[in-house]
């Protein structure tokens, strides 16, 4: 990264590369890789040597090269070190290779760029700031560009910002009026406007700048920007000028830094290594003091036979040298192979994730992928999950699921015994073939509704008529009968599609008319007014006049709102419908109530006049309109209610239930609206009606937020004192697979409040409150806020966090969490690319955590325990021997044994255990989510466990030394020749050690596969093979100095007494551990032991059905109006601005065109906030004249 002075203002001139090059703005090349071919070796080596462990071994290597203290040959260190460095380097190289590939793929996407008057296909990476590029429908936007013109009238264009904020509804962008006619190449080539704007930043919803063109200034805002990552929709083409490119785009700025993620075990391991190092130094000091004493008492006298070195002047100096010698000898307590083995294990675990068929999604042909291979065991310790909503929990598909018409519900299927039938894939769908225009993808299972439509039940017809008329959907008919609806919100699309299939096909609209094919008959309604939706009104209405001249108002909205405005005659129906609504809501459906009203012609005329007048008023227009709307939306007649299912991903409630049984807290962070988010909360079973309280924090100022947070907290703390007795009860029985009945709270907080709550003075309160609640939902949050929430928890909770999301808006959250999970198989790849793990469905999270994560953690912990045990047992023998060899740093073992012990003799069995061990099967892991808690509490490997392992190792080393010592001090060979020499002793101890640690690994292995058998027996065999080979005549003949142990194994292991020693050592070393394990399992069985016990018992009994108990949704009464909808869309329709001339088929409107044009103009101004700083009157009049022309 070059260090540049911070950019204060950005000057970009269109079509002037030379001018823009002066500023050295980032180009559109994106680089996430770390190395290239030439820098790989130095940089990678440098990085590797920065790791404490590797640096430590380099220091050791240097020590070993000093002859005076070299107690071990240099090869004992260099062989494993090179091995480790090479393996790590290979892994890094492959990782980087894939990063290169993905960069290349992004950088080489094609885009059309205007260069010297011609449109040329260019790669994305060659796009520069100031270029004018052409985008076509459904293309990804290559950089942050200023919209200049588009195929649509008024320079409108539609984009989907799912990559940025997760919202899939279409958003409108509009070009400046002055640039919107730059539709052809020649005009664009001449365009030489200069944009002066803010420097690159990460604010997705803000942009300030000014366009200077033809001596005029035009102010620019976010409504004119298309950001990288958006997709152009519904617009044939558009032109834009690149403002920010590459890494300076808002998307990339929002990505956050890529941090190297380390697991907590990693950190613990580093701490432990430091401890061990300290321990090592202590041992070194003890031994060197011993050496000083020994040298001055005995060694000094022994100088006749062994004079001191020339450099060794006195005993103290000898002690000093001995210290270093012992550091070298004892360094194997921290074996180099530990790090490489850990890496290998993680890699293996990652492969198991990649290979898991149960995390493979066949519909999209996507398998799970572990993109980072260093975090696996952390998956077994997750305490917080931060989940995105759209695309992660939900499929973002709305389905018309049920409805209640005139007091009768439709949508459920009953069998002949009047029993509700569960709808599955196999349930027969209703046949819509009577309707030529039906949408094939629409599925409905209750045929009675179709029958009702066919019988021309008036209320049913009116119901669907309403659905076909009251909306802001745009139809698109590419060919005859091939209808496509462009809905601003998926809810509306679902409703109109439902009406379409039931024979009320919304086919075309003009600003003044709506054409509906009612049971195959074209009926054109005059659209008189759209009473648009907003957050306060929570309803929308249309006023139409049917061909018979009858004027009607159709209204749909939140049930509570509609019910307040009903005619008294609908009272009975309201009660019934209300019941139905609560039933729907209980199933997690999004409900809307529908009502209509026949309007008296005279009354309407008067109202219309008032309405038109109010529309032209500039001040207080909105409030006046609201009053007018309120006035006419009275005395409605209820038609019924619809229930839309915001389709959850498969298995989401079950997954959430199971994860929360594992004590994992799930927080939903979504850019969606409060209502939508809560709705999903209910349907995911995260919010329930039986919860004691759902706190909604929604305030605009810091103090208000503080107030709300405090009162919520006080509420909880006040109540919990009462229910504390109840609590202790339920905690004791946490094994039971049932929802605990302790006080449950939920917190829902919106983006504004969150911004305040995340400030330093409130964040603690927020966190405390959030942790008291069982469910936390944050809505309307920006990508950065998502990351901030994650950071907050990470900082203060010492817990492992996992973030899961699918879109670019989740990237920052994914990157800042300990573990990031991306949902793959969607269109955007940003989330996946930033993630550590990716798979296609939210429900796989359950398997990833409860099975793979738990196993990984379990395996890693067992591995580490064993590894430390093994190395303590191996190394500390030198310590004991020190007391008998005058503290002279003489090794007990052969040097070759020291070199090979960790990397050959004992590496594979422990690796096999670390890779394949399973304490309980995967089914049982899923069946008993509580097993997961061990990992969260970090019980399997912590400082205490380490201490115990180390202690066991020390004990073993003690026995390993002293039992052979006792025997060898008096031992002779069978033929009387002596055997108590150092080499025979070395071979005996080494053999005992290998056997003892092999038996120990056997005891530690819970799951003996063929591989385990092969490795354990194989390692023993290899030990003996190498032992005999290294001590054979042949190799001694070639290198007599390096293999002085010639014949020792043969002579030594031929002795029965030696085997008696080995047997005794093994028995004594192993039995105590065995007894302790047995006692622990008998007296204080852990949950794991219990499940294992059950598993064994069940295996004996034979296979059984092991289904997870189904999680039942609780019924809840609530009202939901969940349009993910923007205000003011209705205006666009009535103004006709968003209609292409070709789609306008009906006759021109008879009246009000001229009046409306000014109203439209006003609307337009408000909507797109065209602010003409200088004299922009020409632009305004231009646009108004165009509006008048459009309908023709």
Partner 1 sequence: MAKEKANSGPLARRPDNSAFKQQRLPAWSPMLTANTVLPFFYCMAVLCMLLGVWLLVTVQNTQELKVSEPEFSQIYLTDALCASALMISILFLSQGNVFFYYGLRNFHQNLRRYMDSRDDAQMVGRKKNLKSPSTYCEPFEKDENGLPIAPCGAVANSIFNDSFTLVYHGSKGSTIHVPLYRSGLTWYTDKNIKYRNPKVDNLTLAQVFEGTAKPLYWHKPVYELDPHNPDNNGFINEDLIVWMREAAFPNFKKLYGILNRVSEPFTEGLPVGNYSIEISYNFPVQYFRGRKEVVLTTVTWFGGQNHFLPIAYLVTGGLILLLAVILTVIWWKFGKDGKNMKE
In angstroms, the CA 880 to CA 719 distance is 61
| Residue 1102 within binding range of partner 1, rule CB under 8 A | no
Which one of 860, 910, 971, 1133 is in contact with partner 1 (CB under 8 A)? 971
| Residue 1100 within binding range of partner 1, rule CB under 8 A | no
Of residues 367 and 813, the one with the C-beta less far from partner 1: 367
Of residues 270 and 921, the one with the C-beta less far from partner 1: 921
Phi and psi dihedrals of 479, rounded to 5? Answer: -135, 170
Of residues 177 and 325, the one with the C-beta less far from partner 1: 325
Residue 1164, classed as helix, strand or coil, is helix
| Residue 55 within binding range of partner 1, rule CB under 8 A | no
Of residues 507 and 852, the one with the C-beta less far from partner 1: 852
Which one of 309, 431, 564, 759 is in contact with partner 1 (CB under 8 A)? 309
Question: Residue 778 forms beta bridges with which residues?
Answer: 669, 749
Which one of 49, 519, 954, 1064 is in contact with partner 1 (CB under 8 A)? 1064
Could you tell me the smallest distance in angstroms from the CB atom of residue 1088 to partner 1?
11
In angstroms, the CA 674 to CA 746 distance is 14
Near partner 1 in 156-215, by CB under 8 A: none
| Residue 431 within binding range of partner 1, rule CB under 8 A | no
Q: What are the C-alpha distances in Å from 544 to residues 469, 475, 634, 1146?
A: 8, 18, 16, 15
Q: Which residues of 1124-1161 are buried (b: 16+ CB within 10 A; e: fewer)?
A: bbbeebbbbbbbbbbbeeeebebeebeeebeebbebbb
Could you tell me the smallest distance in angstroms from the CB atom of residue 282 to partner 1?
21
Question: Residue 515 forms beta bridges with which residues?
Answer: 508, 524
Near partner 1 in 986-1025, by CB under 8 A: 986, 1006-1012
Which one of 631, 1033, 1151, 1175 is in contact with partner 1 (CB under 8 A)? 1033
Which one of 1079, 1147, 1171, 1173 is in contact with partner 1 (CB under 8 A)? 1079
Question: With contacts defined by CB under 8 A, how many residues of the chain interact with partner 1?
Answer: 99
Q: Which residues of 680-700 are buried (b: 16+ CB within 10 A; e: fewer)?
A: bbbbbbbbbeebeebbbbbbe
Of the candidate spans 46-54, 567-575, 878-886, 1128-1136, the one that interacts with partner 1 by CB under 8 A turns out to be 878-886
Of residues 936 and 1009, the one with the C-beta less far from partner 1: 1009
Of the candidate spans 176-184, 192-200, 296-304, 404-412, the one that interacts with partner 1 by CB under 8 A turns out to be 296-304
Of the candidate spans 131-139, 241-249, 649-657, 1084-1092, the one that interacts with partner 1 by CB under 8 A turns out to be 1084-1092
| Residue 965 within binding range of partner 1, rule CB under 8 A | yes
Sheet containing strand 194-197, edge to edge, reads: 10-13, 194-197, 209-213, 216-220
Could you tell me the smallest distance in angstroms from the CB atom of residue 362 to partner 1?
6
In angstroms, the CA 762 to CA 759 distance is 6
Could you tell me the smallest distance in angstroms from the CB atom of residue 397 to partner 1?
21
Task: Name the catalytic one among 27, 165, 388, 810.
Answer: 388
Which one of 19, 23, 74, 1036 is in contact with partner 1 (CB under 8 A)? 1036
Residue 302 CA to its chain's centroid (Å): 69
x/- map, 803-842, partner 1, by CB under 8 A: ----------------------------------------
Token readout for 684 is: 């995911």
Neighbours of 8 (CB within 10 A): 7
Residue 1013 CA to its chain's centroid (Å): 38
In angstroms, the CA 602 to CA 864 distance is 86
The DSSP string of 1113-1135 is: PPP-----------TTHHHHHHH
Which one of 245, 366, 792, 802 is in contact with partner 1 (CB under 8 A)? 366
Could you tell me the smallest distance in angstroms from the CB atom of residue 1092 to partner 1?
6
Residue 323, classed as helix, strand or coil, is helix
Using alpha carbons, select from 30, 25, 394 the residue that is nearest to residue 197: 25
Neighbours of 64 (CB within 10 A): 22
| Residue 1092 within binding range of partner 1, rule CB under 8 A | yes
Burial of 241 (0-12, 13-18, 19+ CB in 10 A): buried
| Residue 357 within binding range of partner 1, rule CB under 8 A | yes
Question: Residue 820 forms beta bridges with which residues?
Answer: 803
| Residue 307 within binding range of partner 1, rule CB under 8 A | yes
Of residues 862 and 918, the one with the C-beta less far from partner 1: 918
Residue 706, classed as helix, strand or coil, is helix
Q: Which helix (H) or strand (E) holds 519?
A: none
| Residue 1104 within binding range of partner 1, rule CB under 8 A | no
| Residue 966 within binding range of partner 1, rule CB under 8 A | yes
| Residue 728 within binding range of partner 1, rule CB under 8 A | no
In angstroms, the CA 896 to CA 1043 distance is 9
| Residue 1071 within binding range of partner 1, rule CB under 8 A | yes
Could you tell me the smallest distance in angstroms from the CB atom of residue 359 to partner 1?
9
| Residue 302 within binding range of partner 1, rule CB under 8 A | yes
Could you tell me the smallest distance in angstroms from the CB atom of residue 129 to partner 1?
36
| Residue 1060 within binding range of partner 1, rule CB under 8 A | yes
| Residue 875 within binding range of partner 1, rule CB under 8 A | no
Burial of 305 (0-12, 13-18, 19+ CB in 10 A): exposed
| Residue 738 within binding range of partner 1, rule CB under 8 A | no
In angstroms, the CA 928 to CA 1144 distance is 61
Token readout for 999 is: 């038996």
Residue 708, classed as helix, strand or coil, is helix
User: Is 144 designated active site?
Assistant: no
Of the candidate spans 332-340, 453-461, 521-529, 1072-1080, the one that interacts with partner 1 by CB under 8 A turns out to be 1072-1080
Near partner 1 in 840-859, by CB under 8 A: 855
Near partner 1 in 939-958, by CB under 8 A: none
| Residue 260 within binding range of partner 1, rule CB under 8 A | no
| Residue 1077 within binding range of partner 1, rule CB under 8 A | yes
Which one of 249, 288, 325, 435 is in contact with partner 1 (CB under 8 A)? 325
Near partner 1 in 905-934, by CB under 8 A: 916, 918, 922
Of the candidate spans 395-403, 416-424, 754-762, 1080-1088, the one that interacts with partner 1 by CB under 8 A turns out to be 1080-1088
Q: Are 518 and 504 in contact (CB under 8 A)?
A: yes
| Residue 980 within binding range of partner 1, rule CB under 8 A | yes
| Residue 890 within binding range of partner 1, rule CB under 8 A | yes
Neighbours of 90 (CB within 10 A): 10
Residue 859 CA to its chain's centroid (Å): 24
Of residues 396 and 1066, the one with the C-beta less far from partner 1: 1066
| Residue 970 within binding range of partner 1, rule CB under 8 A | yes
Residues with Cβ within 8 Å of 1087's Cβ and at least 6 positions away in sequence, in order, are 735, 928, 930, 931, 933, 934
| Residue 311 within binding range of partner 1, rule CB under 8 A | no
Which one of 447, 459, 692, 1057 is in contact with partner 1 (CB under 8 A)? 1057
Of residues 549 and 976, the one with the C-beta less far from partner 1: 976
| Residue 1081 within binding range of partner 1, rule CB under 8 A | yes
Which one of 55, 59, 66, 306 is in contact with partner 1 (CB under 8 A)? 306
In angstroms, the CA 1030 to CA 1043 distance is 7
Phi and psi dihedrals of 620, rounded to 5? Answer: 55, 25
Catalytic residues: 388
């Amino acid at each position: 990264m070059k260090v540049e002075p911070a950019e204060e203002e950005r000057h970009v001139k269109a079509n002037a590369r030379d001018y823009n090059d002066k500023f050295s703005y980032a180009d559109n090349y994106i680089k996430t890789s770390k190395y290239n071919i030439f820098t790989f070796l130095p940089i990678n080596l440098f990085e590797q040597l920065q790791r404490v462990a590797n640096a430590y071994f380099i220091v050791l290597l240097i020590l070993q090269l000093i002859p005076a203290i070299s107690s071990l040959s240099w090869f004992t260190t260099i062989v494993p070190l090179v091995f480790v460095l090479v393996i790590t380097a290979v892994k890094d190289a492959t990782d980087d290779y894939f990063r290169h590939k993905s960069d290349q793929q992004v950088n080489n996407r094609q885009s059309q760029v205007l260069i010297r008057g011609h449109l040329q296909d260019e790669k994305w990476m060659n796009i520069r700031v100031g270029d004018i590029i052409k985008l076509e429908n459904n293309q990804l936007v290559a950089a942050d560009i200023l919209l200049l013109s588009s195929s649509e009238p008024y320079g409108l264009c539609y984009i989907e910002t799912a990559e940025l904020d997760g919202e899939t509804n279409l958003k409108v962008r509009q070009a400046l009026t002055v640039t919107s006619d730059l539709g052809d190449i020649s005009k664009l080539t001449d365009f030489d406007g200069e944009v002066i704007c803010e420097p690159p930043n990460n604010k997705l919803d803000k942009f300030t700048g000014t366009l200077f063109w033809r001596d005029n200034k035009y102010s620019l805002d976010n409504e004119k920007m298309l950001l990288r990552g958006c997709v152009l929709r519904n617009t044939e083409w558009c032109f834009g000028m690149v403002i920010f490119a590459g890494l300076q785009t808002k998307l990339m700025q929002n990505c956050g830094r890529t941090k190297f993620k380390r697991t907590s075990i990693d950190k613990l391991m580093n701490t432990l290594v430091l401890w061990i190092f300290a321990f090592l130094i202590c041992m070194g000091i003890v031994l060197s003091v011993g050496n000083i004493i020994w040298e001055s008492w005995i060694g000094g006298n022994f100088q006749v036979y062994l004079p001191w070195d020339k450099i060794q002047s006195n005993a103290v100096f000898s002690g000093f040298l001995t210290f270093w010698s012992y550091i070298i000898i004892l360094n194997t307590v921290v074996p180099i192979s530990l790090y490489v083995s850990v890496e290998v294990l993680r890699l293996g675990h990652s492969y198991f994730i990649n290979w898991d068929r149960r995390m493979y999604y066949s519909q999209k042909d996507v398998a799970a992928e572990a993109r980072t291979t260093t975090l696996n065991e952390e998956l077994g310790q997750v305490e917080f999950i931060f989940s995105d909503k759209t695309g992660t929990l939900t499929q973002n598909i709305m389905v018309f699921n049920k409805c209640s018409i005139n007091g009768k519900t439709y949508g459920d299927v009953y069998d002949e015994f009047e029993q509700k039938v569960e709808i599955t894939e196999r349930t027969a769908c209703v046949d819509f073939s009577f309707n030529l225009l039906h949408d094939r993808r629409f599925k409905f299972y209750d045929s009675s509704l179709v029958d009702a439509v066919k019988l021309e039940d008036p209320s049913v017809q009116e119901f669907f008529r309403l659905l076909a008329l009251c909306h802001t959907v745009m139809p698109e008919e590419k060919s005859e009968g091939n209808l496509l609806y462009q809905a601003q919100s998926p809810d509306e699309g679902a409703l109109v599609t439902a009406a379409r299939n039931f024979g009320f096909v919304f086919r075309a609209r003009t600003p003044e008319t709506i054409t509906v094919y009612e049971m195959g008959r074209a009926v054109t309604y005059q659209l008189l007014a759209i009473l648009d939706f907003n957050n306060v009104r929570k309803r929308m209405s249309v006023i139409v006049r049917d061909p018979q001249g009858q004027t009607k108002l159709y209204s749909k909205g939140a049930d509570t709102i509609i019910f307040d405005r009903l005619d008294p005659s609908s009272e009975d129906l309201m009660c019934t419908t209300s019941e139905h609504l609560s039933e729907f809501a209980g199933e997690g459906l999004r409900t809307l109530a529908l009502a209509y009203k026949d309007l008296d012609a005279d009354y309407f005329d008067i109202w219309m006049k008032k309405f038109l007048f109010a529309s032209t008023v500039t001040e207080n227009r909105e409030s006046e309109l609201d009053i007018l709307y309120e006035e006419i939306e009275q005395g409605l007649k209820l038609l019924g209610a619809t229930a839309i299912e915001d389709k959850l991903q498969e298995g989401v409630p079950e997954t959430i239930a199971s994860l929360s049984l594992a004590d994992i807290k799930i927080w939903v962070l979504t850019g969606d609206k409060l209502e939508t988010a809560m709705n999903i909360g209910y349907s995911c079973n995260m919010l329930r009606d039986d919860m004691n309280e759902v706190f909604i924090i929604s305030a605009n100022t810091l103090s208000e937020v503080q107030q709300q947070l405090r009162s919520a907290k006080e509420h909880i703390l006040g109540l919990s004192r009462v229910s504390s007795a109840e609590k202790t009860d339920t905690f004791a029985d946490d094994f039971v697979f049932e929802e605990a009945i302790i006080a449950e709270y939920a917190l829902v907080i919106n983006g504004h409040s969150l911004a305040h709550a995340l400030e330093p003075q409130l964040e603690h309160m927020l966190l405390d409150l959030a942790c008291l609640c069982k469910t936390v939902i944050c809505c309307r949050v920006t990508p950065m806020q998502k990351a901030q929430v994650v950071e907050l928890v990470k900082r203060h909770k010492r817990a492992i966090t996992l973030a899961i999301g699918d879109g670019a808006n989740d990237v920052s959250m994914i990157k800042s969490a300990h573990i990031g999970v991306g949902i793959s198989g969607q269109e955007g790849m940003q989330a996946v690319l930033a993630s550590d793990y990716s798979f296609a469905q939210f429900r796989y999270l359950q398997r990833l955590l409860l099975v793979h994560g738990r196993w990984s953690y379990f395996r890693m912990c067992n591995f580490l325990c064993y590894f430390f045990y093994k190395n303590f047992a191996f190394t500390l023998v030198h310590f004991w021997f020190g007391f008998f060899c005058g503290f002279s740093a003489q090794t007990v073992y052969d040097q070759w044994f020291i070199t090979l012990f960790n990397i050959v003799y004992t590496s594979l069995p422990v690796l096999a255990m670390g890779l394949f061990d399973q304490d309980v099967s995967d089914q049982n892991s899923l069946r008993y989510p509580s097993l997961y808690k061990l990992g969260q509490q970090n019980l399997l490997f912590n400082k205490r466990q380490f201490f115990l392992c180390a202690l066991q190792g020390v004990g073993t080393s003690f026995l390993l030394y002293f039992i052979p010592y006792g025997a060898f001090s008096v031992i002779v060979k069978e033929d009387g020749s002596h055997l108590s020499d150092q080499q025979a002793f070395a071979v005996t101890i080494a053999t005992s050690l290998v056997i003892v640690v092999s038996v120990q690994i056997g005891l530690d292995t819970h799951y003996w596969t063929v591989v385990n058998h092969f490795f354990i027996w194989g390692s023993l065999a290899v030990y003996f093979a190498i032992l005999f080979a290294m001590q054979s005549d042949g190799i001694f003949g070639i290198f007599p100095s390096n293999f002085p142990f010639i014949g020792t194994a043969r002579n030594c292991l031929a002795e029965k007494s030696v085997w008696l020693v080995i047997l005794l050592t093994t028995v004594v070393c192993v039995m105590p551990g065995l007894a302790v394990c047995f006692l622990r399992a008998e007296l204080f069985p852990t949950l794991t032991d219990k499940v294992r016990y059950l598993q064994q018992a069940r295996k004996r009994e034979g296979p059984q059905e092991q289904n997870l108990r189904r999680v039942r949704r609780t019924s809840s009464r609530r009202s939901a109006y969940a349009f993910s909808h923007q205000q003011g869309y209705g205006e666009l329709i009535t103004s006709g601005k968003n209609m292409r001339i070709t789609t306008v088929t009906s006759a021109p409107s008879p009246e009000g065109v001229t009046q409306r044009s000014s109203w439209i103009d006003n609307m337009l101004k408000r909507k797109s906030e065209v602010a003409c700083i200088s004299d922009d009157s020409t632009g305004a009049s231009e646009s108004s004249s165009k509006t008048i022309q459009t309908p023709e």
